[in-house]
Amino acid sequence: YLTPAKDPMKDKTGNGLNESAGSAGKPGKKEQDLPEAGKSGEESFAGQDDERAGRTNSREFKRVRFKKKVLVNNQIMVEALDISKKGLFLHTGRSFEDGTVIEVGIPTRPGNFDLKVSAMVRHNHRGIGMGMMFVDMDDTTVMQLEKLIDELGDTATNDLAGRKKVLLTGGTATTRNINKSKLVLDGFYVQLATTADEIFQIFERETVDVMVLDWQDTEYNCQEVLTKIRETPAYENIIRVVLSVFTDSGVQQEIMDAGAHRCMARMDTNPAKLSLSLSQLITARDG
């Protein structure tokens, strides 16, 4: 019911691309990964929500989706993606150096940036956003923030139930974060995995609608992951999209035979195109 995309990249050198073969289809050393959003103690993207908090039962690390405009330094409007008692993540192309302390005006009611907090830049992913840690908060501010998080948390479960779940794997941390940022803004619930073990651990606790894999990834064998998914009835409804450096007809066929629903050219697939493709595939499956 799903057919591979007709991608324009036509390189005839992509033969024998599975990881165990170590063939010419594999690219060289990956670019250096930036720190992964959602992996540290203070930072995550929306969509991680209370996953880690549920395991620790610690209110301090509870994160909730907070897709709202905030006011930075009383002059720059940017969009927040999630918030916790410890900090928040801002989606913005504007950058501040790590360690910079800024003022953030957070709306507790529409049109009023009444909750003023100081926050230090912990992780600056240029072109994506910034992971912020709250600093120098007095007791009143802490109480206001906790009240806001509790109110947001009351609606988080219902909000999550209405979002389609995406699992992003492979590529560099930079690429994953850029794609995740766009998908979250488009209303998806997004999680990240870098190894085969992480992929199947997520499957055990989540119902995933669609996953994105990288055919040339060096952290897992894409062909083996696809084969395991295809051979496991519980995973049969997961839509599998594979990004590849090479997308000539032979490579596409190899990827489709391994169990993918669509093959897309990695270099031609920007975040907007990926988001649109995932939406179309989910609509086709559910329609």
The pLDDT value given to residue 41: 29
Q: Residue 3 has what pLDDT? A: 39
By C-alpha distance, which of 192, 158, 166 is closest to 276? 166
Give the pLDDT of residue 78. Answer: 87
Question: Locate tokens 């926050």: which residue?
Answer: 119
- Can you say whether the dihedral through the CA atoms of 191, 196, 200, 203 is positive or negative? positive
pLDDT, one tens digit for every residue, the chain (287 residues)? 343 343 333 333 333 333 333 333 444 434 333 334 433 322 333 333 333 333 333 334 466 778 888 999 988 888 888 888 889 888 877 778 889 999 999 988 777 788 999 999 988 877 777 889 999 999 998 998 888 888 776 665 556 667 899 999 998 888 888 888 888 878 888 899 999 999 999 999 888 999 999 999 999 999 999 999 999 999 989 999 999 999 899 999 999 999 999 999 999 999 999 999 999 999 999 98
- The pLDDT assigned to 32 comes to 36
The answer to whether the CB of 203 falls within 8 A of the CB of 62 is no
Q: Which pLDDT score is estimated for 67?
A: 81
The Cα 160–Cα 196 span in angstroms is 25
Q: Mapped to the 3 state alphabet, what secondary structure does the chain carry? A: CCCCCCCCCCCCCCCCCCHHHCCCCCCCCCCCCCCCCCCCCCCCCCCCCCHHHHHHCCHHHCEEEEEEEEEECCCEEEEEEEEECCEEEEECCCCCCCCCEEEEEECCECCECCEEEEEEEEEEECCCEEEEEEECCCHHHHHHHHHHHHHHHHHHHHHHHCCCEEEEECCCHHHHHHHHHHHHHCCCEEEEECCHHHHHHHHHHCCCCEEEEECCCCCCCHHHHHHHHHCCHHHCCCEEEEEECCCCHHHHHHHHHHCCCEEEEHHHCCHHHHHHHHHHHHHHHHC
Parallel, antiparallel, or unpaired for β 115-125 and 101-106? antiparallel
Is residue 128 within 8 A of residue 88, CB to CB? The reply is: no
- Report pLDDT for 27: 42
pTM over 0.75: no
Hunting for tokens 């050219």 — which residue is that?
265
Query: HSE on the CB side for 276, CA within 13 Å?
Result: 7
Find where tokens 């993918």 sit: 260
Q: What is the pLDDT of residue 96?
A: 83
Question: What is the C-alpha separation between 36 and 90, in angstroms, rounded?
Answer: 15
pLDDT of residue 157: 54
Which residues contact residue 94 at a Cβ distance below 8 angstroms, ignoring those fewer than 6 apart?
Answer: 72, 76, 78
- What's the start-to-end Cα distance of the chain, in Å? 11
The CA distances from residue 239 to 78, 83, 90, 166, in Å, are 33, 30, 30, 9
Whose structure tokens read 């250096």? 32
